[in-house]
Structures are given as C-alpha cells and as structure tokens.
Structure 1
Amino acid sequence: MRDRIVRYASETEFRVWLFALVAAIVAYGLFELTGEVLEGETRAFDESILLMLRDTSDVGMPVGPAWLTKVMTDITALGGVTVLSLITLMVVTYLLLRRSFRTAAFVTGSILGGWALSSALKLGIARPRPEVVQHLVEVTDLSFPSGHAMLSAITYLTLGALLSRLDEGRVRRYFFPLVAVFLTLIIGLSRIYLGVHYPTDVLGGWAAGTVWACASWFVSRWFLGR
C-alpha cells in the first residue's frame, strides 16, 4: 500500500512539473509571437500561407473540391460561441446532476474567465482581419488572437482535463483530452482555410488557450483536490 502511495505521488509530481514546463514554453512563445505580430514581421509569412490555399487565378476560390469548403464551414462552427456555450451548459448540467457542485462552479468560472481574456486580447492588440483573400464566412470582430482557436482550446481542453478525472481507467482517462486536442486543431485550421484569420492569429489563439487551460488544471488540483 505504501509503495502504491509513493508511486502515485511521484507520478503526480511528474505531471505537475511537465504541465508547468509546457505552460512556460507556450507562454514565452505567445509573448514572442505577439511582439512579432505588433511589429508586422509576420505579414509576409501569413499572406503567403493564405494565398497558397487559394486558386492562383482567383484568390476568391479556395483550393480543393467544393465540398471541402462546406466541411470547413461546419467544423469552424464547433468553435463558435453558440456551440461552445451549449456544450459547456450541458457539461455543467451533468456535473450538477452528479452533485459535483464545486467542479461545476470551477468549470463555469474557468471558461468564462478565459472568454473574457480572449476579448481583452483582441481589443488590446487590435489587428485587422486579412484582406489579401476573400472571407468565406462572415466575420465582424478583430483578428489576433483567433477567438475560435483560443475559445475552443480553453473550452475543450479545460473540459477534457476535468472530465478525464471522472474515470479511473488509465486508457479511458486519455480519451477526453485527446478529443479536445483534435477538435482544437481542426477548428483552428478551418479558420485559416476560410481566409478569416492569419496563421499567426490561430497560433496565438492556440497558445493563449493552452496556457489558460494549463493554469486551470493547476488551480483545479488545489480547488478540487484529487
């Protein structure tokens, strides 16, 4: 019994330091990327990627078959406020039915706080949307960081990490985090394909969302315990 406790403590400590290292590296990368964006150093790279995804004779036409645009439009909706709000509401309701009141409160506060941070970053950096290619979906707000990339990272990664705590099976506990990472990646890529975000907008959104999700994981260990 004592050996099991010691082994669990060692594994927990390793995971804590690993998350700390990942969060520190990503946070530093976000800081550097934001500086480059503000100085306009990434513009040539960003525009070249967007143009690469369009027909050389008509930048209003995306590369690939017609159905791919429909698929990307459907995927990008998974990172919209409406879908994310519904998913969060359903998860919080499930937690309340389980009488996991502290977890429900933590999930709600963590996600809402992350969304507020996303809005603050957009207003503070105030980067205009790409104009080099035609937008394939309607957008109205600012560009950096990508709200879809950041909000999906915050929501899906936070929910994935917390829901994995509900299952004791080693293999099954990785299911929710892996699904969260997959959804976050394809949503961000869809924003680039649709021409509504520069690649660095999406990278910034992924980085900021990952840092917030890692911070939420740390706080959850203190607030929720094992």
Structure 2
Amino acid sequence: MEERHLKKAVFFIISLICLGFFTWGFVSILEEWKENEIAGFDNGVFNVVHGFISPKLTTLMTSITFMGGVKWLSISTIGLVIVLVFMKKYPLALFLTLTVSLGAGFNWLLKWIFKRDRPDIEALIEQGGYSFPSGHSMGSFIFYGAVAFMLYRALDRAVFKWLSVLALSVLILFIGISRVYLGVHYPSDIVGGFSAGGGWLTLCIAVYIYFYKRSDWKYVDE
C-alpha cells in the first residue's frame, strides 16, 4: 500500500514539474514577444532553416506538415477512438476524444487572444488565420503525445515503449520545423505551440490517471 501511494505521489510531482516547465516556456515566449525581444531568435532560426530550401525538401516538408493539420488529426483521432471503442477501451477513448477536441478549442482561444499575424515573408504554401501559438505544433504535441502515452502503457517491453515515444517525439519536432521551413510560422510560434500543447497534455494525463485510479474504469480498461 505504501509503495502504491509513493508511486502516485511521484507521478503527480513529475506532472507538476512538467506542467510548470511548459507554463514557464509559454510565458517566457510571451514576455519576449511583448517586449519585442523575440525577433533575433525568430530571424536567426529562419535564416538557418531557409538555407536548406530545395524542391525535394519542400515536397517532404509539405507532406510532414499535413500530418499535423486539422484534417489529418481529426481523421486519425476519430479512427483511433473507433478502434479503442471496438477494443472496449472506453476510458482511453474518452481520454483521447476530450484531450484532442478540447485542446483544439484551447488553441483557437489562444490564437483569438493574441491575434499575432503570420510572418511577413513569402510562404511556400497558403495559410490563413493567426500565427501564435502554432496550431500544427500544439495539435501534434497533444495528439501524438497522447498516442505515445497510450502506447507506453500498452506495450510490454521497455525498448518498445521508449522507441514509440522517441519516434512520435521526432515526428512532433519535424512537424514544427516544417511550419518554419514553409514560412507560415515564426519559430517562437512553434515553441509556444509545443509549450501550450505540452502543458495541456500533461494536465489531461494527470486528470485521466487520477480518475482512472479512483474508479472502476481500470477493470474495464485492463
């Protein structure tokens, strides 16, 4: 019993640390932006990333960025929820549905609050709406992060657990890079999206674990 309580305490301490870290990252970007001190960072990253522009890489980056778009993430979420329901993993299906859908609403709210215009450069693709925080980066962190969480819990061998987390983390990172490469987001938009998405995902996982451990869900979900 004491070991169980210890594990629970460690989990929520780690959750608080992660939530604090992501919140700090988001607030730091906001402060730098409001004080007009973020331009150096944005321009520096732009110069590095845009130095690699080529037709083949543009095609690749366009494909990668599609995997972080609303259409793809919506279809993937619905498909995965259907699979989870079919497998009778009802708590996970509810977790994924609420995490992704409410996360999308949270991103819309943040964009509406800050109303940052997109970069004033020649973009490689058409993209409307506000820029901060990046919806692709935030949505990808939330969806693929949630999938990584579920795979980590479902897989038996530690090597497969961490390989799945690593692979999805790399995908999230490259989706963010693709947005800068294509010229539709400032690098600070990407960092802001990752920070907001990470904070939201951490909160959702903590709430899921809390209710999962306190209810009979665990007997359905095993």
For the superposition of Structure 1 and Structure 2, which TM-score range results when normalised by the shorter chain? 0.7 to 0.9
Q: What is the match of residue 147 of structure 1?
A: 135
Q: Is 1:93 the equivalent of 2:82?
A: yes
Counterpart of 2:93 (choices 104, 112, 123) is 104
Match for residue 172 of structure 1? 160
Match of 2:22 in 1: 26
The CA deviation string for residues 111-163 of structure 1, in whole angstroms up to 9 with x for no partner, is 111110000001100110001x3101110011111110001001110122123
Q: Write the letter of the residue equivalent to 2:13.
A: W
Alignment partner, residue 172 of structure 2? 184
Alpha-carbon distance, 1:203 to partner: 0.3
Contact 1:153 1:180 in 2 (8 A): no
Map 1:115-126 → 2, pairs under 5 A: 115-126=104-115
- TM-score with structure 2 setting the length: 0.88
Q: Deviations over 1:3-59 (max 9, x none)?
A: xx83x65455434322321221221121121122233221233123223434xxxxx
What is aligned with 1:76? 65
Q: Does 1:51 align with 2:64?
A: no
Q: Quick one: distance in 2 between partners of 1:135 and 1:207?
A: 24
Q: 1:187 to 1:91 in 2, by over 3 A?
A: same
Q: Given that residues 161 and 176 in structure 1 are in contact (C-alpha distance below 8 angstroms), is that contact kept between their aligned partners in structure 2?
A: no
Q: Could you tell me which amino acid in structure 2 is paired with residue 28 of structure 1?
A: W
Aligned residue in 1 for 2:148: 160
Query: How many Å apart are 1:68 and its aligned residue?
Result: 0.9
Number of residue pairs matched by the alignment: 214
What is the aligned-residue identity percentage? 31
Answering whether residue 181 of structure 2 is matched by residue 193 of structure 1, we say yes
2:96 maps to a residue whose letter is V
Q: How far apart, in 1, do the equivalents of 2:159 and 2:52 lie?
A: 38
Unaligned ranges ≥5, structure 1: 55-61
Structure with greater helix percent: 2
Q: Which has the higher contact order (CA 8 A, sep 6+)?
A: 2
The Cα offsets for residues 143-188 of structure 1, whole Å up to 9 and x where unpaired, read as 1111100010011101221232223333333343323211110100
Unaligned runs of 5+ in 2: none
TM-superposed CA distance for 1:72, in Å, is 0.7
- The amino acid that maps onto 1:95 is L
Contact 2:142–2:200 (CA under 8 A) maintained in structure 1: yes
Supply the distance in 1 between the matched residues of 2:141 and 2:83 (Cα, whole angstroms): 21
Q: Is the 8 A contact 2:53 2:181 kept in 1?
A: no
Alpha-carbon distance in 2 for matches of 1:159, 1:39? 37
Higher mean displacement: 17-26 or 120-129 = 17-26
Please report the RMSD computed on the Cα atoms of aligned residues, expressed in angstroms. 2.0
